[in-house]
Amino acid sequence: MNREAKIYIAGHKGMVGSAIARKLQSLDYSNIIGKSSKELDLRIQRDVNAFFEVEKPDIVIDAAARVGGIMANQTYPYPFLMENLQIQNNLIDASIKHDVEKFIFLGSSCIYPKLAPQPIKEEYLLTSPLESSNEWYAIAKIAGVKACEAIRRQYGKDYVSLMPTNLYGPYDNFDLETSHVLPAMIRKFHEAKINGNRPVELWGSGSPMREFLHVDDMAEAVVFALENKLEDNLYNVGTGKDLSIKDLALLIQDTVGHKGEIIWDATKPDGTPRKLLDVSKLAREGWRAKIRLEEGIKNTYRWFLEHQDSFKEVKF
């Protein structure tokens, strides 16, 4: 891969986009571009096309999305569907119109059926109903996967979709109303600890099984896809290992040092019973995750403590 190729990272200030930017910079890629949402609203097709006309990127990495946990998805179903469709469709369409040869589309493991056989293979896509608590986001991401597949089939361009499992790490979202389970737990246990080790209430039964991938591993996978021509259009990205939400809570509680009680609110939804990705397809191509969950949570908690009051912006 030419280190001087112009690489546009959509969503470069988010958790995933910033990790990708840091990784590329560490490898001496010298022509990385990005625009904040204030500078470029990816929901507006006219503005996206104008940006591509001026910048003419060689490679596009789509790490931009409206994201959130179960509460956010259930509260705001329409924007989770429509805004994600707008963002990705504008980026994909502008890329094909402006002859971008390589496009990496990032989605989520929630694209797979709620009751898919475990571990989940890429071929299980669209074989049965989705999990209702996040189907709006999932449907948008499925459309993106299919758009990239269609371009690959019709035009022969190297457009590939990477579907990560649950991501966490530096620059995560720790807002309790919109965050995912792992960062939400870190914040809840931390605040309970500093307020006299008060009890921590968590949603659901704690029984669902989940897999977690550190965002730095995800960035490594993106660079691997960037530097190699993968044979297929869709790849899972994960560790291939999972644990129960209850065990995750105990691990985070121990890492944070919280000594209080954990209360499980079984009236709240659990979501999908289990969601473990089969990562053998990308492993056959030559990539595997490296960061152990225990190490990753410690790293993320340290970052949280250092950045509670202000999140630093990525600079190019």
Is 164 annotated to bind a ligand? Reply is yes
State yes or no: is 137 an active-site residue: yes
Is 141 annotated to bind a ligand? Reply is yes
Is 107 annotated to bind a ligand? Reply is yes
Is 257 annotated to bind a ligand? Reply is no
Is 167 annotated to bind a ligand? Reply is yes
Closest CA to 160 of 50, 308, 61: 61
Is 203 annotated to bind a ligand? Reply is yes
Is 84 annotated to bind a ligand? Reply is no
Indicate which residue of 112, 137, 159, 301 is catalytic.
137
Is 166 annotated to bind a ligand? Reply is yes
Taking the CB of residue 259, how many other CB atoms lie within 10 A of it?
10
Is 14 annotated to bind a ligand? Reply is yes
Is 165 annotated to bind a ligand? Reply is yes
Is 163 annotated to bind a ligand? Reply is no
Is 17 annotated to bind a ligand? Reply is yes
CA distance readout (Å), 105 to 9, 248, 260, 302: 11, 29, 42, 30
Is 69 annotated to bind a ligand? Reply is no
Binding residues for substrate: 188, 203, 210, 270
Binding residues for NADP(+): 11-17, 106-109, 141, 164-167, 180
Binding residues: 11-17, 106-109, 141, 164-167, 180, 188, 203, 210, 270
- Catalytic sites, residue numbers: 137
